[in-house]
A = this chain, B = another copy of it.
Amino acid sequence: MDQPSQHDPHAPPPGVAEPESRAGLRGAPEGLSIAGVAEQAGVSVATVSRVLNGHPNVRPATRDRVLAAVAASGYRVNELARNLRTAESRLLLTMVPDVGNPFYAEVIRGIDSVARQHGYFMLLCDTGADPGRERSYFDLLRRRRADGAICLDPATVQQALAEESNALPWVACCEFDSSVGVPYVGIDNYRAAGDAVRHLLARGHRRIALINSDDHYLYAQQRQRGYLDALLDAGITPDERWRLNVNSLDYEAGASAAASLMTHAKPPSAVFAVSDTLAIGVIAGLRSVGKRVPDDVAVAGFDDISLAAQIDPPLTTIAQPMRELGETAARLLLQRLANPTGDVPGVLLPHRLVVRKSA
């Protein structure tokens, strides 16, 4: 009972992370090393290391002496040294196109929570979906600053990554190309988009526009195919002028896309935007040109960010399990790290149509 079995060396060592006396902290010399603690405790550095890492083979009395010295001196392990010695950084790199997007923010939280649970920290990098930045961040893996990476960037840039470094431990999240051969987690974008469009069709709409994101996202292509096929299946010939691609998921992008859509003589009666942020912008843009939602134009979004339920009118959208997406990605990566040669699966998580007032 007083002897920890099976110790995780990256959990806070017993006695070390506990609140210690202020005096101890005050006295903490800057350059105190394990050798200093060993001396104070009258043992060898090896023993201190053992105690710090929770190894079982230490006599309780010795352990206490070491712990006392640690507490008294305010010693903290130098993880720079530990990292070199163990050849791991305990850092997980997360590359995301836009931290500011609420969708990504939530995915990130999922990643972070699982990472921390396993003694890893998250190095978050905002790539702006720029291949150059992506590459340079990815290089952190080779330089050993991160043990593994999670990539949410466009499949086009993921392919480049895969080509030159299939062996490096990384996984794809949300955006993925199942053919590149890295583990991935995401949803069935084709079906999800179809579900959204079929909902619009069921509401009686025939003129349905698509506001899509940048085409080098594979998910954009998949959602577009889902949209087209759903239309075709309903006997509707898609109107090319009603398919817009925007190069950012900002509210503004959605707003101006919507406004331009409404300049047509016989404009669409419904809009499907592939992101809630876009859809919220669409609603604002529609309002700015005097259109009411959903009376004049219905709007459906994608993601179900928390804001979707709060705007006027509340947004009908496809819910993605954002947190789970992130959590799963982190688990897949951890799995790959633990067993570099083992096969790691691709996993598809379920989506869900959430019907609110906007469509």
**Which residues of A are at the interface with B, using a C-beta cutoff of 8 A?**
12, 17, 22, 25, 76-81, 83-84, 87, 89, 91, 99-100, 102, 105-106, 108-109, 112, 121-126, 136, 139-140, 142-145, 163-165, 250-252, 255, 280-281, 283-284, 287, 306-307, 309-312
Q: A284-B310, A312-B284 are in contact. Are A145 and B125 (CB under 8 A)?
A: no
Q: What is the CB-to-nearest-CB distance from A32 to chain B, in angstroms, rounded to a whole number?
A: 10
Q: Give the residues in chain B near A109, CB-CB below 8 Å.
A: 99-100, 126
| Chain B minimum-CB-distance residue to A167 | B30
| Complex alpha-carbon distance, A311 and B314, angstroms | 12
The contact sample of 11 A-B pairs, CB cut-off 8 A, is A76-B142, A80-B83, A80-B144, A84-B84, A91-B123, A99-B108, A99-B109, A121-B123, A121-B125, A122-B124, A124-B124
* CB-based contact B105/A165 at 8 Å: no
* CB-based contact B79/A145 at 8 Å: yes
Q: A76-B142, A136-B17 are in contact. Are A100 and B105 (CB under 8 A)?
A: yes
* CB-based contact B121/A145 at 8 Å: yes
Q: What is the CB-to-nearest-CB distance from A306 to chain B, in angstroms, rounded to a whole number?
A: 6
Q: What is the CB-to-nearest-CB distance from A141 to chain B, in angstroms, rounded to a whole number?
A: 9
| Complex alpha-carbon distance, A122 and B144, angstroms | 16
Q: Give the residues in chain B near A283, CB-CB below 8 Å.
A: 312
Q: A80-B83, A80-B144, A143-B79 are in contact. Are A312 and B310 (CB under 8 A)?
A: no
Q: Give the residues in chain B near A25, CB-CB below 8 Å.
A: 164-165
| Complex alpha-carbon distance, A136 and B17, angstroms | 8
Q: What is the CB-to-nearest-CB distance from A45 to chain B, in angstroms, rounded to a whole number?
A: 16
Q: Give the residues in chain B near A91, CB-CB below 8 Å.
A: 123
* CB-based contact A307/B310 at 8 Å: no
Q: What is the CB-to-nearest-CB distance from A46 to chain B, in angstroms, rounded to a whole number?
A: 19
* CB-based contact A307/B80 at 8 Å: no
Q: What is the CB-to-nearest-CB distance from A95 to chain B, in angstroms, rounded to a whole number?
A: 12
| Complex alpha-carbon distance, A91 and B106, angstroms | 23
| Complex alpha-carbon distance, A202 and B102, angstroms | 35
* CB-based contact A136/B12 at 8 Å: yes
* CB-based contact B76/A80 at 8 Å: no
Which of A17, A22, A79, A255 has the most chain B CB within a 10 Å cutoff?
A79
* CB-based contact B126/A112 at 8 Å: yes
